[in-house]
Structure 1
Amino acid sequence: MVDFQQGFIKLSPIPPQQVMSLVGPMLVADEQIIAAFKSIRDSVVFTNKRILAINVQGITGKKIDYTSLPYSKVQAFSIETAGVLDRDCELELYYSAVGKVKFEIRGSFDIVGFNRILSQYVL
């Protein structure tokens, strides 16, 4: 499982099609990707039902850990918008079994609009 206490390092938004080959076979009926992000090797996919954290392991990258975090288990969440000097926005979700799950998103990403979408699934 991914060590969520460290947080994902600087995720960048990517088109959902880029991760479809990795997560497509795992999606259940009526599950759709709403956003996808990538770091150097790892990815995070937000669907309408859960968050999938994809952790590429090893030198060759053939070993991959998939961690599924259902929205139904989120107890609280927060967002932090980008500032003048700190250009990254942040999303933190709190799970009873896992603790805090933190995502740092670089670039111009509409975290407030994304918060509204996420609220539909968490609340």
Structure 2
Amino acid sequence: MGILSGLLGNASEVDVEKVEDNLEKILIEDEKLVKAFKVLRDLMVFTDLRLILVDKQGMTGKKMEYHTIPYESIRHFSVESTGHFDMEAELKIWTAGASEPIIRNFKKGEHIFSVQRTLAEMKLKNYDLNRF
């Protein structure tokens, strides 16, 4: 990802091997990383079991919040693309038991659709057809 693209907030795909070392403390045994996207300093990491939102905080970015969302708790999600005058696209994820969605903003660009496609793929792959 170029520096300018990162400063503008465009999501870019990150090599999962580079991310894996940073997440080894929170990954469970045999959990596999599928894809990762970086927006500014934050990460959206898709594993075979869950979505992990990594929020780097503070001036140095050493303080981090790891937000885990099991795919089974995702009820629905939406993408709002940018228009001619809009500068931000928006991803909203509604989870079970939450009254408000989790919202992530993306600057103008196509990468929000890569994130949405990955979320759809992981949600559908983890859908338990035997529960009905």
TM over 0.5: yes
Q: Deviations over 1:34-68 (max 9, x none)?
A: 11011121111111111111111111222111111
Answer with 1 or 2: which has the greater Rg. 2
Any conservation in 1 of the 2:72–2:123 contact (CA below 8 Å)?
no
Any conservation in 2 of the 1:57–1:63 contact (CA below 8 Å)?
yes
Q: Name the structure 1 match of 2:100.
A: 99
Counterpart check, 1:53 vs 2:42:
no
Over 3 Å counting, the alpha-carbon distance change for 1:84 and 1:60 in structure 2 is closer
**Cα separation, 2, equivalents of 1:119 and 1:54:** 23
Q: TM-score, normalization: structure 2?
A: 0.65
Deviates more, 1:97-106 or 1:59-68: 97-106
How does 1:1-123 map onto structure 2 within 5 Å?
A: 9-79=9-79, 91-95=91-95, 96-97=97-98, 99-103=100-104, 106-107=109-110, 110=114, 113-114=117-118, 115-122=120-127
Give 3-state SS (helix, strand or coil) of 1:72's partner.
Answer: helix
Higher RCO (CA-CA < 8 Å; seq separation 6+): 1
Any conservation in 2 of the 1:77–1:94 contact (CA below 8 Å)?
yes
Report the structure, 1 or 2, having the larger helix content. Answer: 2
Number of residue pairs matched by the alignment: 114
RMSD: 2.9
Any conservation in 1 of the 2:37–2:115 contact (CA below 8 Å)?
no
Report the structure, 1 or 2, having the larger strand content. Answer: 1
Q: Deviations over 1:77-111 (max 9, x none)?
A: 3456x68968x876432112263123456445546
Any conservation in 2 of the 1:74–1:122 contact (CA below 8 Å)?
no
Cα deviation for residue 119 of structure 1 reads 1.2
Q: Which sections of structure 2, spanning at least 5 residues, go unmatched? A: 1-8
